[in-house]
Chain A
Amino acid sequence: MSSILKIILQRLGLGLVTLFVVSIVIFVAVNLLPGDFAEAILGQGATPESVAAIRRDLGLDQPLVIRYIDWLKGMLTLDLGTSFAQLNFANFGGAGTTTIAEQIAPRLGNTMFLALVTAAIAVPLAVTLGILAALYRNTAFDKAANMFTLSSISSPEFFMAYVLILFLAMLNPIFPSLSNIYEGMPFDERLEKSMLPALTLTLVVTAHMMRMTRAAIINLLASPYIEMARLKGLSPMRVIVKHALPNALAPIINVIALNLAYLITGVVVVEVVFVYPGIGQLFVDSVKIRDIPVVQACCLIFAAAYILLNLTADILSILSNPRLRHPK
């Protein structure tokens, strides 16, 4: 037991180190920018005095290392600062500015909701289809499924999104094509509004998970113990579900976690198509207006989620495989 704990702690430590280095990369990349935030905030109306004032306010006159430590401290205490857009708003006398943390928090929740709905549809679907494809391998069903999944893996997310809009929103008005979600929306309405983005993401991730499930099971079918189970006279379904599946679980769990990590990037495009108020849309909007603090914060959140999910995949595959648990 202690060896498992040790391995998990090791991985966690490695993950933290990676996250730390990634935060340095993001910070340094942004600070390679010519000019600085002060000029960016003030735009063309910048006078030397006002630039100097803002630089002092934001601590931009400090050396890079100190600014990095400050930024990291802010990130850790969830004090992400204020976006340029909001600062500008304040400069022109706007009242009630919100901080980045306040901007991001509800959107992060929305994105999580979307990812969860997607996972709830995609994971059972993919595993079932994968088992069926392995069971009826090399039949017409398997070939059709193979062609379909290969096509849906390779299509861009927005193609899938518009095809779904065309068929499920325009021609057969089943789901709304705009996901205008607001706070305090009842759950069922929220679910209905986020159905099309979730279905799009499902189409994108199911294919990969299904192919991996099928491959993992088929890989095992040549093993002697499966032969034994067959010779005992078990039905093909029972052989696969009872004997092959438990041993194929490690690669399947791994690929599920990796695909959830993939969802994080896929979500950006899909949120833009459906105008879903998630963190991906905020990110793209901020990229367009070069709102550096928001871009930085979103980037770090995405990277953290990505690293966390990859870490989970790693740990789960170690836990489910005794051979990895006791490395020689």
Chain B
Amino acid sequence: MSGLMWFAIYLAALLIGAYVFRAAGQAATSNTPKFRDMSYGEALGYVLGAGLLLWAVYYYFQPKILDTGVPNAGVIFFRWAVQGFIIAAVAAYLFRLLGRFVGTEATKKLFRSMPLTASFGILVIFIYAFVAIFAGAIAPYGQAEILGAANVMAGGDPALGGNPEYPLGTDQIGRDILSRLIFGAQNTVGIAFVTTCLSFFIGGSLGFLAATLQGWLDQLLSRSVDVLMAIPSLIFALLLMTIASVWAVELGVPLTIFMVLIIAVIDSTRVYRLARAVGLNIVVMDYIEAAKLRGEGLGYLVFKEILPNAMAPLLAEFGLRFCFVFLTIAALSFLGVGIQPPLADWGTMVRDLAPFINFAAFAPTAAVTPLLAAGAIALLTVAVNFVVDWMLHKSSGLKE
């Protein structure tokens, strides 16, 4: 009851505060248009924002450990989040500054008009690519290496069950979590990247082919794609994975290869749609007619004439498709039918480490490990989406 009462008091304070804020603004600035035309909702928004900011500052400086000796996990997580956000913003700012002075004239120009979110995205993509390529050199241990101690806590503090040799602890069978996270970049991101490339190869070439040849081939391909798209993709992927898991045993081929093929085929339907639509606009151009009259073959038409002119929309789509494929693979692995052990993979790690979350209230560092793996997935997709969002915004020339 008292909770409800406090809520009512806060609400009333907000409502009155907004009114007072607007009136005070009008009086103090001798009724400038900004305050004169301010709607009540807008004033409420300012007061609400200021209130939230105040609360955030107050909460940030709460003690880390309660009087009872129990760590105040909420405050600790909040501090991490705020610090992470500030570090990310500063890093993105510095990276953009760097891009404005280093590089070719074209890239400098690009960086000059870039929002912070996009430069953050590019920075994160670079870091992921670096970690993925040099995983073997960066990671302190092997991805499947089983070390002496299992279930070592994260944080590296021996008093809390940690071990400085394993900064993020070890998992249930004693593999170093930090190394597995690093190798996860190689496996999860690498496999997703290969899958997306494959899906673009299949979808793109079939789409352009349908656009160039038209007729019955176009009809056949388009109608089959319609049918495949009528089944939700994750559900279809799960159905095909069930079947593939039987085939994998029968043929002795790793299930991961089947997964790459299945997701590539399912995803290529979306690429096909776009490639065909873009291709249809290109094949009516005069230069295509000229190339046809020159007697160029189909391969030349598709790869030398249509593809270069369809590159811009396909690139933006590549980013979105990559995110989608990446999330699908992560979801499949999380459900236990995706990337198979002993390969380290973020989706599988989240599922395996999830029970640690139950210790959040007493040992905040322990709860972090499953979230780190899930966060690694989220961070990359967020970064790619930021970049794609900016690219689309730039190419559409939207100002609002």
Contacts and interface: CB of A to CB of B under 8 A. Distances in A.
A272 B335 contact: yes
A56 interface: no
A296 B236 CA distance: 10
Given A157-B331, A303-B235, 14 more contacts: A22-B230, A29-B243, A30-B243, A34-B246, A156-B374, A264-B235, A283-B238, A287-B241, A287-B337, A288-B336, A288-B337, A295-B242, A303-B231, A306-B230
A147 B117 contact: yes
Contacts of B16: none
B45 A150 contact: no
Interface stretch (B101-109, B213-221, B381-389): B381-389
Contact of B371 (A35, A136, A162, A298): A162
Residue of B41, B226, B235, B327 with most partner-chain A CB within 10 A: B235
B162 interface: no
A150 B232 contact: no
Given A170-B367, A288-B337, A156 B242 contact: no
Contacts of B357: 162, 165-166, 170
A306 B232 contact: yes
Interface in A149-165: 150-151, 153-159, 162-163, 165
A292 interface: yes
B400 A268 contact: no
A138 B115 CA distance: 13
A32 interface: yes
Given A137-B400, A138-B400, A265-B233, A154 B381 contact: yes
B39 A235 contact: yes
B232 A162 contact: no
Given A18-B226, A140-B49, A268-B335, A34 B247 contact: yes
Contacts of B335: 268-269, 272, 284, 287
Contact of B242 (A151, A172, A287): A287
B330 interface: yes
A284 B350 CA distance: 17
Given A170-B358, A237-B39, A288-B337, A158 B232 contact: no
Contact of B227 (A18, A30, A153, A273): A18
Nearest to B381: A154
Given A18-B226, A268-B335, A283 B246 contact: no
Contacts of B235: 264-265, 268, 283, 298-299, 302-303, 306
B10 to A, nearest CB: 17
A156 B327 contact: yes
A36 to B, nearest CB: 11
A159 B385 CA distance: 17
B245 interface: yes
Interface of B: 39, 41-42, 45, 49, 73-74, 77, 117, 226-228, 230-236, 238-243, 245-247, 250, 323, 327, 330-331, 334-337, 347, 350, 354, 357-358, 360-361, 367, 370-371, 374-375, 377-378, 381-382, 384-386, 389, 400
Contacts of A273: 354
A170 B354 CA distance: 13
Contact of A150 (B231, B233, B330, B385): B385
Nearest to A264: B232
A159 B245 CA distance: 27
A141 interface: yes
Interface string A19-30: 101100110011
A39 to B, nearest CB: 10
A5 interface: no
A33 interface: yes
Residue of B228, B231, B357, B375 with most partner-chain A CB within 10 A: B231
A169 to B, nearest CB: 9
B243 A150 contact: no
Contacts of A35: 246, 250
Interface string A278-295: 000001101110101001
A28 to B, nearest CB: 11
A303 B239 CA distance: 12
A261 interface: yes
B332 to A, nearest CB: 10
A284 B238 contact: yes
B251 to A, nearest CB: 9
Residue of A151, A235, A237 with most partner-chain B CB within 10 A: A151
22 contacts: A18-B230, A25-B228, A25-B231, A33-B243, A137-B400, A150-B385, A155-B382, A156-B331, A158-B334, A159-B371, A163-B371, A170-B73, A171-B73, A265-B232, A268-B238, A269-B334, A272-B334, A287-B337, A292-B242, A299-B236, A302-B231, A302-B232
Contacts of B367: 166, 170
A307 interface: yes
Contacts of A29: 239-240, 243
Nearest to B72: A171
Nearest to B378: A155
